[in-house]
A and B are shown apart, each in its own frame.
Chain A
Amino acid sequence: MPRSDTGDPETAAKSTSEARGDDAPVGESVEKVDGWGLVTGKARYTDDVPTDDALAAKVLRSPHAHARVRSIDTEAAETIAGVKAVLTHEDVPEDRFTRTGFPYPAPAPFDERVLNETVRFVGEPVAAVAARTAEAAAAAVDAIEVDYEPYDHVLDAHEAMGADAPTLHPEPYENPQENAAPERNVVCETRHEEGNVERGFEAADEVVEGEYETQAVHHLPMETNTTIAWVDDRRRLVLRTTTQVSHICRDKIARVFGLNRTDVRVVKPRVGGGFGVRQDTLPNQFIGAALALETGEKVRLKNDRKEDLHGAQTRHAQTVRVKTGVREDGTLTAMHVDVTSNTGAYGCHASAVLMNAAHEPLSVYPCENRLFTGRAVYTNVTPGGAMRGYGAVQGTFGIESHLDEVAAAIGMDPVELRRRNAVEEGDESFEPEYSESKRTLESVGVKECLERACETLGWADGPEEPADDRYQRGYGVALAMAKSGVPSSEFSRCNITLEDDGTLTVRVGVGDTGQGSETVMGQIAASVFGLGIESVHVKADDTDATPWDNGAYASSTTYISGNATEKAARDLAAKVRDLAAEWRGVAPDDVELADGEVRFPDGESMALERFASEAFQGIHGPKRRLTGTGKHHTALSPKPFAAQLAAVEVDTETGEFEVRRLVNAVDCGRAINPAGARGQVIGGAVMGLGQTVSEDLPLDDRGAPEFRGLRDYEVMHAPELPDIDTELVETDEPTGPFGAKSVGEVSILGPPAAIANAIHDAVGVRATELPITPETVWTALQEDRDR
């Protein structure tokens, strides 16, 4: 049964501690290990080092959505004083690859180069310059003359599959994905059925259909993508860069430029947010590397904000069609979800995002007959990439909006419909066919989340209506599920050294971009020894210093790297016990490690500090320095869940609506750091709110951005926040480190549908398109009145 952390936190914490035999900072909201630097301005991000010695780099970008570069004349640019290198597609490796930040080969077509001869979206890099000064670099970019052969372009995914549409990738490429048909711009096409949906629809009392549209949005990490690249004194290429996947970035750079993996080093200092955009190795990183290799000098390349907003990857715009059969008693008899995903110019995350769009949200409802059909399509827009929620934002908006229509069709309360159908422990998730993950779910707290959220909001009572009937209020609900890493793909290894002062140095390649993963690893390691977090140093910022870790994506870190860290700590603890037992001539099993002490069967104990010092000095035998190692890889990916409820008020005169309250109840397994987990939940929910009500990246007919910069990108600001309630409904995931699953993505999934459902509850208007605007609501209200 799920356990609640707010019911009796002390009891809950104690039971875990007893079960594991630890006196643990796990379960406590310890301060972040990097906290002091973060609040004093002392933390160093990529660009926070002197770079007077670096060449300034600048990128020339395509004004065309689709064109071939017939020729480029760089002569004038090269003669400008201070210009050290001008690179075009003729100067970069010919082999195509994918920027996608999964381990090689990655589930993505190899369809792009560092600089492409054919450009496929407005803003695509065409050439790059490194120069002694920023002014010289800018002048050189202006002096490059490009002769483009413009091609027809297509921006809409449905049109791109039509007979008249231009083909973006006519040449065959390596690593095509499932049922690829690049001549029709189809990157991949999938069909996955369990049971028989046609039979399921026949068995239904009502069959309901709906179609839902989601927009491209940007991650908008506050630090723009930045790379400082140089060749070091051992002639190795070094990148100091904004990444959330340092080891994969290193691997990718090495492969593209034909270097040994060991001849590339990636330094990941503090990183100003990621949210998925830094999962890929970005053009910025390849171009920075190419310029450093070309010049042999240090090169600094920092995207400006508009380059980042427009040129880096976005969330995929998707069309989600849902068809559901339901019986009068609320039993779902069949669900068919069809997704068309716009992947833009390159196939980066086309396939994996598509898969996620239906597999995650459909897993919440284990009805007998489930069908997922879908395709991802090339168009001439900025490539879609990995973004927090990863397809499931889109799918959850569609499915959870649609379920309210299903509930209405049989006259059932939307919460009741979900209560009757939601997944429980022992049910099977709807995994992609290639997934090796065990489908049976062991920790499932979604129904508990639903009950808790309903209680908090007062769902059963409904909203209190304002006196003036111009304003109408409504409640909406959505359930969500995410994962804890990509099954059979993740790998993490951790090394822990017991220093001679009794502290621990934890080396693990997690990609902390602010979410607190270094702190979580520190807590896990410390807890095994009963040490405080101040006795642990976590080193995670350099591929030279850390063993391979896939980095931060797919909500994998706490579960995968956390398990590796726990294993390394237990390995080290076993070595401590062995050595202590040897010193005293007792059995290792009789030596206990707790509260930072080594305890012997005779009741005596010594502080770990003294133990480490004596081992180091060789007081009882040969000098010893103890290290532990652990690694974790698995086909498992336990699922975190959420129930999210929204309360809105709609102005029926104007269509304007206010989200008044957002309740988030989340099952993340055991929260290693409750404050950190809460921060992930709130941050995700507010990002989801922005996607719902305001964020958009409009393009004109030529595919050019209609936004000038950040001033036109409407994200949530503090005064616009609704009241936000956050509850951690803790379960115990038996395969997780200290019972933990993940928490980074699940809370971004629910707000779009919860808010759309609340608007419908308030005024009967079904918003099927994101972002939901007052115009949409107002127009629908007018249509209702005219009817």
Chain B
Amino acid sequence: MNGEDEQFAVSSGETLMETLRGAGYYGVKNGCDEGVCGACNVILGDEGVTRSCLVPAASCDGAEVMTVEGLADDDGGLHPLQSAFLEHGAAQCSYCIPGVLLASYDLLQRNDEPTESEVADGLSGNICRCTGYVQQIEAVQAAADRLSGSDASSEGSG
């Protein structure tokens, strides 16, 4: 879990979402319970972004799982994506935000300089009802610039 070893007792039929929320990973949100909204996204090993409401917890034995709680550093210092979301007004009610951040993180792992439409495609599995997505796309691109060092103004931050 987010780079640490953790063990959870899992009852039969329990989803990964339920297990994680039950263990206090409340950043995993239950937005629809039917695999549509992306609010429960986690990054599951090599499979990348995964809807945890569709995954049986029992199938995750030994898996590496990353939740939004794993994005910030140990002192609460924000990941550039998180900073950019705040700076761009991309977080309104933010119930979708953990899932959006993880989808964005996953995208940037694969593509460190995504175009606007590549970011939009990267967020196609997330529903945000507040922002209209525009600020989120801007934030992801700004974070990409910061992470790749092409944004000189952000030196020393993040």
Contact = CB atoms under 8 A, between A and B. Distances in A.
Contacts of A305: 31-34
Q: Is chain A's interface secondary structure helix, strand, loop, or mixed overall?
A: loop
A675 B92 contact: no
Contacts of B101: 39
B91 A223 contact: no
B32 to A, nearest CB: 4
Nearest to A48: B26
Contacts of A36: 76, 78, 86
B129 A221 contact: yes
Given A39-B86, A220-B129, A304 B39 contact: no
Contact of A683 (B34, B68, B92, B98): B92
A516 B135 CA distance: 15
Nearest to B132: A686
B68 A31 contact: no
Interface string B87-130: 11101111111100100000000000000010111011011111
A224 B39 CA distance: 12
B37 interface: yes
B145 interface: no
Interface size class of A (residues with CB under 8 A): 35 or more
B86 A31 contact: yes
Q: Which of B39, B82, B119, B137 has the most CB of A within 10 A?
A: B82
Q: Is chain B's interface secondary structure helix, strand, loop, or mixed overall?
A: loop
A642 to B, nearest CB: 14
Interface string A101-125: 0000000000000000000000000
A724 to B, nearest CB: 5
A41 interface: yes
A710 B37 contact: yes
Interface size class of B (residues with CB under 8 A): 35 or more
Interface string A558-583: 00000000000000000000000000
A331 interface: no
A221 B86 contact: no
A40 B82 contact: yes
Interface string B20-35: 0100111111111110
Given A271-B93, A715-B127, A682 B72 contact: no
Interface in B45-81: 67-69, 71-72, 76, 78
A487 B98 CA distance: 39
Interface in A651-689: 675-676, 678-679, 682-687
B154 interface: no
A515 B95 CA distance: 12
A107 B154 CA distance: 53
Contacts of A709: 32, 34, 36
Contacts of A274: 93
Contacts of B31: 222-224, 272, 305
B132 A40 contact: no
Contacts of B89: 29, 675-676, 678-679
B41 to A, nearest CB: 11
Contacts of B10: none
Interface string A40-72: 111111011010000000000000000000000
Nearest to A35: B86
Contact of B132 (A48, A223, A685): A685
A39 B82 contact: yes
A785 interface: no
16 contacts: A32-B91, A39-B101, A40-B27, A40-B68, A45-B29, A50-B24, A223-B31, A273-B95, A275-B129, A679-B135, A686-B134, A718-B128, A719-B124, A721-B120, A721-B132, A726-B134
Given A271-B93, A683-B131, 9 more contacts: A39-B91, A41-B69, A222-B129, A273-B95, A515-B130, A682-B131, A686-B133, A718-B123, A721-B120
Interface of B: 21, 24-34, 36-37, 39, 67-69, 71-72, 76, 78, 82, 85-89, 91-98, 101, 117, 119-121, 123-124, 126-137
